[in-house]
């Protein structure tokens, strides 16, 4: 089933209804929502972390979730597009995994309605992790005896080493990868000294220029929507902008590649703006290298505006205030590898 999607007109109405000019700046919650069928538990998080870091889930035994989404830094890989098995390069920039739990749909084109479904995508992508199918992925996990006790601790006794449970565990771990407590969050909670002068001025500029028409809510990725309902916007909205040709922003059809619906051509899930200073390069194709340039590109292509150097500097300062403290990460100890695992 296709993810639910709201019309651009309705989304814009929602954006206006959540106007930051009216004081509706919202802090990031201290915990991420979890679906009823996958409550977050310590045992699931521990197992999910192991699977997230384990390259044995790839056909070559060399690529893991961590390979493209480095949680020791910005949750991405700083490549224009990521390298998968055999050095193959993907077509889109790896989005950060930090705060992905606050997206209502996953991937740039929103093709996965949940973190659980997203976790099943890369292992069977021929460029990313290269496994033949999901059965091959979980068979690989079953072939590592040390994993069974961890699955049973997380899901109980019985035939619990399943792909669905593996995906649930990875999703549970990813829901711990959130960064509340940024200067902006503290400001939104009432600490009027949390932002510096330029950051506060940049927040006003951010709203005045029109950035909040798309980037709103606690994660600056759109209004709160039911899980599986994507918040998508046309990009680029102004194809005559000189940045469109310069950075080849219209070459990828966006959500159309997942749905093959002409109405979805050029539509993209609105990404979070949290921790942007950690996630260069920018845009779905990784073509824009710096944050000031990304601000200029977005103002031109989405708002048909040319921003001044002073406005850019102020907005960049505000975006820096969206970086929150990262929870400490430690490398997991993985179960030992049977000698015939990759034969």
Question: What positions carry a catalytic annotation?
Answer: 128
What is the spatial distance between Cα 126 and Cα 118, in angstroms, rounded to a whole number?
Answer: 15
Q: Can you tell me the distance from the alpha carbon of 249 to that of 255, in angstroms, rounded to the nearest whole number?
A: 14
> In this structure, what token pair is assigned to residue 56?
């044995």
Tokens representing residue 121 in the block: 């995508």
In the chain, what is the greatest distance between 2 CA atoms, to the nearest angstrom?
63
| Nearest partner of 144 among 47, 42, 66, 40, judged by Cα | 47
Find how far residue 196's CA is from the centre of its chain.
27
Q: Please give the full DSSP string across 226-257, using - where no structure is assigned.
A: -TTEE-EEESSS-TTSHHHHHTTTTSS-BTHH
């Amino acid at each position: 089933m296709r993810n639910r999607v709201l019309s651009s007109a309705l989304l814009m109405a929602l954006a206006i209804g959540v106007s930051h000019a009216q004081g509706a700046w919202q802090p990031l919650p201290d915990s991420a929502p979890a679906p009823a069928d996958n409550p977050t538990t310590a045992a699931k998080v521990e197992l999910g972390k192991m699977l997230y870091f384990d390259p044995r889930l790839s056909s070559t035994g060399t690529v893991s979730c961590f390979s493209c989404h480095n949680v020791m830094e910005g949750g991405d890989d700083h490549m224009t597009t990521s390298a998968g098995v055999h050095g193959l390069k993907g077509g889109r920039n790896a989005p950060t995994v930090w705060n992905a739990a606050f997206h209502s749909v996953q991937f740039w084109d929103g093709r996965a309605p949940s973190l659980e479904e997203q976790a099943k995508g890369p292992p069977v992508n021929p460029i990313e992790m290269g496994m033949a199918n999901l059965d091959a992925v979980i068979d690989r996990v079953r072939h590592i005896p040390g994993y069974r006790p961890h699955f049973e601790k997380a899901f109980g006794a019985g035939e619990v080493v399943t792909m669905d449970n593996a995906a649930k565990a990875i999703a549970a771990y990813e829901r711990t990868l959130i960064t509340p407590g940024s200067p902006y969050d503290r400001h939104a909670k009432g600490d009027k000294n949390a932002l510096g002068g330029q950051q506060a001025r940049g927040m006003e500029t951010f709203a005045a220029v029109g950035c909040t028409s798309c980037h709103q809510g606690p994660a600056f990725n759109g209004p709160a929507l039911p899980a599986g309902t994507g918040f998508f916007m046309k990009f680029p909205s102004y194809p005559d902008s000189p940045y469109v040709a310069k950075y080849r922003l219209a070459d990828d059809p966006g959500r159309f590649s997942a749905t093959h619906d002409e109405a979805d051509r050029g539509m993209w899930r609105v990404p979070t703006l949290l921790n942007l200073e950690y996630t260069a390069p920018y845009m779905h194709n990784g073509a824009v290298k710096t944050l000031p340039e990304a601000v200029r590109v977005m103002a031109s292509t989405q708002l048909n505006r040319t921003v001044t150097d002073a406005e850019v500097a102020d907005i960049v300062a505000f975006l820096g205030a969206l970086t929150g403290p990262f929870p400490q990460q430690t490398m997991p100890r993985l179960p030992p590898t049977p000698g015939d695992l990759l034969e």
